[in-house]
Chain A
Amino acid sequence: MKIGLEIHFQLKGNKLFCSCSTEGTESGSAFQRKLTPVMGEMGMVDSAVKYENIRNREFLYRVSSNSCLVEKDEEPPHPVNTEALNTAIAISEALNCKILDYASFMRKIVIDGSNTSGFQRTGIIGMDGYIQTSGGPVRISTITLEEDACRKISEKHGRAEYSLDRLGIPLIEISTEPDIADPEHALETAKAIGHFVMSMNNFRGEVDSIRQDVNFSMGFGRVEIKGVSKLSFIKDTLDYEIKRQESLKEISDLFHGKPPEIGDFIDITDIFNNTGSSMIKKAITSGKSVMCARLPGCNHLMKYGNYRLGRELADVAKNMGIGGLMHSDEFPAYGLTGEELSQIYSAARKMDEDAVIVVIADRDSTESLSPLLKERMNKIIKLDLAETRAATTNGETRYLRPLAGKERMYPETDIPLIRITEDILENIKSMVPKSLDEIKKDLIKKYKLSSVEAESIINNNLLSLFMSLSDGFKNPSLLSRILLQVMPEFEKKRGTKLTQEEIRDILGVSISGGNIYRRDDGIKSIIGIARSRGWDRNTLELALSLYILNAIPVSELEKRPELVPLNEAEIRGIINELSEEGQLNEKNLIVMFRKKTDHSFDPRLVMRIFTEMKKSDKL
Chain B
Amino acid sequence: MLIGQKVDFSYKGAEYTGTFISSSDDAITVKLGSGYNITLNRDSFKVIKEYPPESMEKDSLTEINQECGEDGICILTTGGTIGSSVDYKTGAVKPVKDISYLYNFVNNIDQFKLYHENIENMLSENVDAGKWLTFARKARDAMKKGNSVIIFHGTDTMQYSASALSFMFEEQTEPVIFTGSQRSSDRPSSDAFLNIEGSIHFASMEMGEVGISMHTGTSDDSVSLYRGTRTRKMHTSSRNAFISIGEPCMAKYSNGKVSQESYIKKPSENIVLKDRLDENVGLIYFYPGMRGEDFYNLSYNKKAVIIMGTGLGHVSSGILAVIKKLSKETAFFMASQCIYGNVNMNVYSTGRDLLDAGVIPLGNMLAETAMVKAMYILGNYPDDLNKLMKTNMKGEIEEIVR
Give the B-binding residues of A (Cβ under 8 A). Answer: 31-39, 41-43, 49, 69, 72-76, 98, 100-102, 104, 106-109, 111, 116-119, 122-124, 127-128, 142, 144, 405-411, 413, 417
- Are A117 and B27 neighbours in the complex by a CB distance under 8 Å? no
CA gap between A124 and B88 in the complex, in Å? 18
A124 contacts across to B, CB distance below 8 A: 32, 36, 38
A34 contacts across to B, CB distance below 8 A: 193-194, 220
Closest residue on chain A to residue B24 by CB atoms: A417
Task: Determine how close the nearest CB of chain B comes to the CB of A477; give it in whole angstroms.
Answer: 45
In the complex with contacts A104-B39, A409-B36, A43-B238 CB distance below 8 A: no
CA gap between A106 and B88 in the complex, in Å? 11
Closest residue on chain B to residue A49 by CB atoms: B188
- Are B29 and A75 neighbours in the complex by a CB distance under 8 Å? no
Task: Determine how close the nearest CB of chain B comes to the CB of A68; give it in whole angstroms.
Answer: 11
A75 contacts across to B, CB distance below 8 A: 236-238
CA gap between A527 and B371 in the complex, in Å? 75
Task: Determine how close the nearest CB of chain B comes to the CB of A53; give it in whole angstroms.
Answer: 8
CA gap between A102 and B236 in the complex, in Å? 30
Select one of B11, B36, B61, B193 contacting A98, CB under 8 A.
B11
B41 contacts across to A, CB distance below 8 A: 101
In the complex with contacts A117-B188, A406-B34, A417-B39 CB distance below 8 A: yes
CA gap between A43 and B86 in the complex, in Å? 11
In the complex with contacts A43-B61, A72-B218, A98-B12, A36-B38 CB distance below 8 A: no
Select one of A73, A144, A413 contacting B189, CB under 8 A.
A73
Closest residue on chain A to residue B85 by CB atoms: A39
Q: Give residues of chain B (8-37) contacting chain A, Cβ–Cβ below 8 Å.
A: 11-14, 16, 27, 29, 32-37
B108 at the interface (CB under 8 A from A): no
In the complex with contacts A36-B188, A74-B218, A118-B189, A128-B105 CB distance below 8 A: no
For the complex of A and B, list the 5 residue pairs with the smallest distance between their C-beta atoms, beginning with the closest.
A118-B188, A406-B35, A409-B35, A41-B88, A102-B39
- Are A74 and B11 neighbours in the complex by a CB distance under 8 Å? no
A36 contacts across to B, CB distance below 8 A: 105, 188, 190, 193
In the complex with contacts A33-B189, A410-B88, A74-B40 CB distance below 8 A: no
Task: Determine how close the nearest CB of chain B comes to the CB of A567; give it in whole angstroms.
Answer: 70
- Are B91 and A413 neighbours in the complex by a CB distance under 8 Å? yes
- Are A101 and B27 neighbours in the complex by a CB distance under 8 Å? yes
Closest residue on chain B to residue A110 by CB atoms: B188
Give the A-binding residues of B (Cβ under 8 A). Answer: 11-14, 16, 27, 29, 32-41, 44, 59-61, 86, 88-89, 91, 101, 105, 182-183, 185-190, 193-194, 217-221, 236-239
Task: Determine how close the nearest CB of chain A comes to the CB of B164; give it in whole angstroms.
Answer: 28
Q: List 5 A-B pairs, Cβ < 8 Å.
A: A35-B188, A36-B105, A38-B188, A117-B189, A142-B34
In the complex with contacts A32-B219, A98-B11, A38-B185 CB distance below 8 A: yes
B16 contacts across to A, CB distance below 8 A: 127
- Greatest chain A CB density within 10 A among B38, B186, B236 is at B38
Beyond known contacts A37-B188, A76-B237: 7 more, CB 8 A cutoff: A39-B101, A43-B59, A98-B12, A102-B38, A104-B39, A111-B188, A410-B186
Select one of B14, B86, B182 contacting A413, CB under 8 A.
B86
Task: Determine how close the nearest CB of chain A comes to the CB of B395; give it in whole angstroms.
Answer: 29
- Are B35 and A405 neighbours in the complex by a CB distance under 8 Å? yes
CA gap between A478 and B292 in the complex, in Å? 80
A76 contacts across to B, CB distance below 8 A: 237
Select one of B34, B39, B193, B218 contacting A100, CB under 8 A.
B39
- Greatest chain A CB density within 10 A among B16, B187, B193 is at B187
- Are B27 and A102 neighbours in the complex by a CB distance under 8 Å? yes
In the complex with contacts A34-B220, A101-B27, A119-B188 CB distance below 8 A: yes
Closest residue on chain A to residue B11 by CB atoms: A98
B59 contacts across to A, CB distance below 8 A: 43
Task: Determine how close the nearest CB of chain A comes to the CB of B223; give it in whole angstroms.
Answer: 13
Closest residue on chain A to residue B21 by CB atoms: A411
- Greatest chain A CB density within 10 A among B34, B105, B182, B189 is at B189
Task: Determine how close the nearest CB of chain A comes to the CB of B123; give it in whole angstroms.
Answer: 15
- Are B40 and A101 neighbours in the complex by a CB distance under 8 Å? yes
A102 contacts across to B, CB distance below 8 A: 27, 38-40
Closest residue on chain B to residue A108 by CB atoms: B35
Task: Determine how close the nearest CB of chain A comes to the CB of B377; give it in whole angstroms.
Answer: 38
B29 contacts across to A, CB distance below 8 A: 104
Closest residue on chain A to residue B61 by CB atoms: A43
Task: Determine how close the nearest CB of chain B comes to the CB of A99; give it in whole angstroms.
Answer: 8
B32 contacts across to A, CB distance below 8 A: 124
Select one of B33, B60, B218 contacting A406, CB under 8 A.
B33
- Are A98 and B217 neighbours in the complex by a CB distance under 8 Å? no
CA gap between A4 and B181 in the complex, in Å? 42
- Are B238 and A69 neighbours in the complex by a CB distance under 8 Å? yes
- Are B239 and A74 neighbours in the complex by a CB distance under 8 Å? yes
- Are A117 and B35 neighbours in the complex by a CB distance under 8 Å? no
CA gap between A517 and B80 in the complex, in Å? 63
CA gap between A602 and B61 in the complex, in Å? 88
Select one of A33, A69, A142 contacting B219, CB under 8 A.
A33
CA gap between A410 and B39 in the complex, in Å? 14
CA gap between A413 and B85 in the complex, in Å? 11
Select one of B86, B221, B236 contacting A32, CB under 8 A.
B221
A33 contacts across to B, CB distance below 8 A: 189, 219-220
A122 contacts across to B, CB distance below 8 A: 36
- Are A100 and B188 neighbours in the complex by a CB distance under 8 Å? no
CA gap between A405 and B33 in the complex, in Å? 10
- Are B35 and A408 neighbours in the complex by a CB distance under 8 Å? yes
A411 contacts across to B, CB distance below 8 A: 37, 86, 88, 91
CA gap between A75 and B16 in the complex, in Å? 36
Closest residue on chain B to residue A102 by CB atoms: B39
B218 contacts across to A, CB distance below 8 A: 31, 72, 74
Task: Determine how close the nearest CB of chain A comes to the CB of B291; give it in whole angstroms.
Answer: 36
Task: Determine how close the nearest CB of chain B comes to the CB of A116; give it in whole angstroms.
Answer: 6
CA gap between A412 and B292 in the complex, in Å? 47
- Are B37 and A119 neighbours in the complex by a CB distance under 8 Å? no
B40 contacts across to A, CB distance below 8 A: 100-102
Task: Determine how close the nearest CB of chain B comes to the CB of A220; give it in whole angstroms.
Answer: 22
B33 contacts across to A, CB distance below 8 A: 406
Task: Determine how close the nearest CB of chain B comes to the CB of A448; give it in whole angstroms.
Answer: 41
- Are A407 and B60 neighbours in the complex by a CB distance under 8 Å? no
- Are B219 and A74 neighbours in the complex by a CB distance under 8 Å? no
Closest residue on chain B to residue A29 by CB atoms: B218
CA gap between A43 and B62 in the complex, in Å? 12
Closest residue on chain A to residue B40 by CB atoms: A101
CA gap between A558 and B329 in the complex, in Å? 91
CA gap between A35 and B238 in the complex, in Å? 17
CA gap between A432 and B330 in the complex, in Å? 70
CA gap between A413 and B37 in the complex, in Å? 12
Task: Determine how close the nearest CB of chain B comes to the CB of A617; give it in whole angstroms.
Answer: 83
Closest residue on chain A to residue B221 by CB atoms: A32
CA gap between A410 and B60 in the complex, in Å? 19
B220 contacts across to A, CB distance below 8 A: 32-34
Closest residue on chain B to residue A101 by CB atoms: B41
- Are A31 and B219 neighbours in the complex by a CB distance under 8 Å? yes
CA gap between A39 and B187 in the complex, in Å? 9
B238 contacts across to A, CB distance below 8 A: 69, 72, 74-75
Task: Determine how close the nearest CB of chain A comes to the CB of B14; give it in whole angstroms.
Answer: 5
Task: Determine how close the nearest CB of chain A comes to the CB of B95; give it in whole angstroms.
Answer: 15
B27 contacts across to A, CB distance below 8 A: 101-102, 417
CA gap between A192 and B210 in the complex, in Å? 65
- Are A106 and B60 neighbours in the complex by a CB distance under 8 Å? no
- Greatest chain A CB density within 10 A among B60, B91, B221 is at B221
Closest residue on chain A to residue B42 by CB atoms: A101
A123 contacts across to B, CB distance below 8 A: 36
CA gap between A32 and B13 in the complex, in Å? 49
- Are A31 and B217 neighbours in the complex by a CB distance under 8 Å? yes
Closest residue on chain A to residue B186 by CB atoms: A38
A42 contacts across to B, CB distance below 8 A: 88
A111 contacts across to B, CB distance below 8 A: 188
CA gap between A41 and B3 in the complex, in Å? 13
Select one of A32, A101, A117, A405 contacting B39, CB under 8 A.
A101
Closest residue on chain A to residue B93 by CB atoms: A413
